[in-house]
Amino acid sequence: MANDTQFPSLFAGLGSGDGPGALTALVEEHGHLLLGMPGLAEALVSDGEMDEELRLDLFHMLVDEARMDMENRGRLGRRFLAEAADAVSALSGAGSLDPETGMSLVLAYARAGVEAPEGLVASVQENTLAEIGSDGLPDDLDTQIEDFRREVGDDDYMLYAFLNDLLGGMLVPLQVAFVQHVAGRDEAWSGSLALYWLLSPVPEVRLAAADGLGEQARRGRLDTAAVSKLTLMRTWVPADGVLPVLDTALREARGPDPVEGLEMPSMRPVRLLGTLPDGSGSQSFAVSLDSADGSAAAFVLLKAGHGVKDAFLMREMAAADAMLSQLAELSEASSVDLAIDALEPALSAALADGLAEGKTAPPILIDVARACGLEALRPQVLTARDWLSRIDPEGEVVRLPAGKRAELIERSGDWPLDYSLIANWSEGTAIVEGALEGINGSRPQHAALWTALERRRDYWAQLMVRSAHVLRSATGDRDWRSFVATATALIDGEALEGIPIMQHVLDTSVAAWQEEERALDANDPAEGGWPFYA
């Protein structure tokens, strides 16, 4: 059990009347350090001396912060979740976890996309299912659906978003019953909602959506547009038990070819902005769209190893104009105008990247792809060499004299000066810590860090070829050759120590680790408590 006197100053400045804004500000400013505070995860889970609402709200935020830290190869998120799992398992194992707190903890993990401790899920599920009726669905569910439909009109995605919010407060068995109930209805919109749920991160929900589509197909109620989208979308779904159900539904529906039978898109892409990837592998693309109603905009966030992380479609003119205005300012600093056809290969590769890790794309990508004229978008695995073949099909860089290629590689030392996102290229602190563990002496430590980077050649080559793809697609840009030459050097096994950008990666990685070490030492509660509220 955490020391009850260890964290009082953390909550002293967060009276319950301050609301969630104070917690949000705390996490935005200090969230990363909070993950590294020993005993905090346990206290947030179990410390009855603290304000319950505040500590559970903070736990929700920090679980999501921990997920992001792990995605960025940090070390503190994993520590926080491990401590929380131990505390939760101890409570649930002792039978001292009250159902309301248990449900709040389960939802914290679910909403962050983090797997909850097995004992916690079993405990909460047992308590919840003992108290509900045969299906556990709200008695007025159909009435709520009709109310939502009247509010959103013909916007199927908005209806999905409303219903998915309801879904977020349920355990998986109830989510399954909910989705089966909605997806099996005869209305055309229910087929659209089922398509969105096919991209749920929860396998059981995906299967429930597929079952609903299959039921509609057997009754002959699956409309042409849904069948056309479904034929395409089966390539977006992880290769699990859902695919046979979808294939059966398609056979029974006897649908058309995936790009036939759809009404013409009401939007047209007119401008594409794209960024180079940052050190975490995140890369953004934004599309300005012409529509019958005026301006519209689409945005996608891709991340190496995670696929398509997020997507938005702004149909409302004022919101789209504001977004595009911000993007125009951004383009001066870190993004560039690209040829429209640069988007499809980036999305195709990201879809395949995500599927390789068992991750689904955000459901709104269905609408984003259609708005951008990508109705035939499919996952395509692209290795670093595959990207090079696309970017430089004639082998222009490879055919250069060795001296010219060496100059291009040397040019990589200037990338951090010319591209703001590349200035932050670094490995995560978890990788640095793992490399240095048990090794003493600056020279052995330096060698260990280079060895760790050796194992990451493919990752950094991928970031370089994705950067080259953006720059190659930018009007008049010639710097793509430097990225192609440097990526080729990594792929071909040239010594990392002789590649300037890799020296930059090593230096920034060590600096980030050292800065985190200093911050953790300065904020150790055992050495004077929390400095956040002096």
In this structure, are 331 and 351 located in the same domain?
yes
Query: Rounded to whole angstroms, how far apart are CA atoms 193 and 125?
Result: 26
Domain limit, last residue, from 104, 129, 154: 129
Could you tell me which residue, 117 or 463, shows the higher pLDDT? 463
Q: Is residue 135 part of a domain?
A: no
Confidence of residue 149 (pLDDT cuts 50, 70, 90): confident
- When pLDDT is averaged across residues 513-524 and rounded to a whole number, the result is 81
**Cα four-point dihedral sign 330, 335, 337, 343:** negative
Indicate if 113 and 151 belong to the same structural domain: no
342 contact partners, CB below 8 Å, separation of at least 6: 272, 274, 469, 470, 473
Whether 229 and 284 share a structural domain: no
* pLDDT of res. 203: 92
pLDDT at 326 over 80: no
From 253, 277, 304, give the residue that closes a domain.
253
Q: Are 337 and 270 contacting, i.e. CB atoms less than 8 angstroms apart?
A: no
pLDDT greater than 50 at residue 228: yes
Beta bridge partners of residue 286, listed in sequence order: 273, 299
Same domain, 406 and 337: no
Q: Does 422 share its domain with 310? A: no
For the chain, give percent helix, strand, coil, nearest 5: 60, 10, 30
**Residue 531 located in a structural domain:** no
Instruction: Indicate whether 319 pLDDT > 60.
Output: yes
257-263 mean pLDDT: 43
pLDDT class for 533, splitting at 50, 70, 90? very low
**Interval 74-96 mean pLDDT:** 90
Of 426, 424, 400, residue with least CA distance to 482:
400
Look at residue 475 in the predicted model and tell me its pLDDT: 66
Give the Cα separation of 269 and 373 in Å (integer): 7
Q: Are residues 493 and 423 in the same domain?
A: yes
Please report whether residue 118 resides in a domain: yes
Domain-located, residue 528: no
**192 shares its domain with 242:** yes
Find out whether 293 and 315 touch, Cβ atoms under 8 Å. Answer: yes
Lowest mean pLDDT among 9-18, 121-130, 298-307: 9-18
pLDDT value for 495? 96
pTM of the model: 0.88
95 or 461, which is more confident: 461
Domain presence at residue 169: yes
DSSP at 135: S
Q: Which of 97, 129, 161 is the last residue of a domain?
A: 129
Digit-coded pLDDT (tens) for 291-312? 777 778 899 999 999 999 999 9
Residues 6+ apart with CB under 8 A from 416: 422, 423, 425, 501, 504
Structural domain containing residue 120 = 8-129
Does 13 have pLDDT greater than 50? yes
Establish if 427 belongs to a structural domain: yes
- Alpha carbon distances (Å) from 417 to 299, 333, 425, 499, 504: 27, 12, 12, 16, 11
Residue 147 has pLDDT above 50, yes or no: yes
Per-residue pLDDT at 16: 46
The CA distances from residue 327 to 301, 311, 316, 333, in Å, are 14, 15, 16, 10
pLDDT average, residue stretch 227-249: 87
**Is the predicted pLDDT of residue 383 greater than 90, yes or no?**
yes
Domain-embedded: residue 527? no
What's the pLDDT at 496? 96
Q: Flag whether 526 is in a domain.
A: no
Q: Are residues 61 and 82 in the same domain?
A: yes
Confidence of residue 483 (pLDDT cuts 50, 70, 90): very high
Model confidence at 1, in pLDDT bands (50, 70, 90)? Answer: very low
Residue count of the chain: 534
For the ranges 27-31, 248-252, 400-404, 529-533, which has the lowest average pLDDT? 529-533
Segment 176-226, tens digit of pLDDT = 888 988 888 878 888 889 999 999 999 999 999 999 988 888 888 877 778
* Beta-ladder partners of 294: 291
pLDDT reading at 509 higher than 60:
yes
Same domain flag for 111 and 156: no
Task: Tally the domains of the chain.
Answer: 4
Lowest mean pLDDT among 8-17, 268-277, 415-424, 525-534: 525-534
**Digit-coded pLDDT (tens) for 414-467:** 999 999 899 999 999 999 999 999 888 889 999 999 999 999 999 999 999 999
- On whether both 246 and 285 belong to a single domain, the answer is no
Task: Please indicate, yes or no, whether residues 458 and 506 belong to a single structural domain of this protein.
Answer: yes
For residues 14 and 107, state if they share a domain.
yes
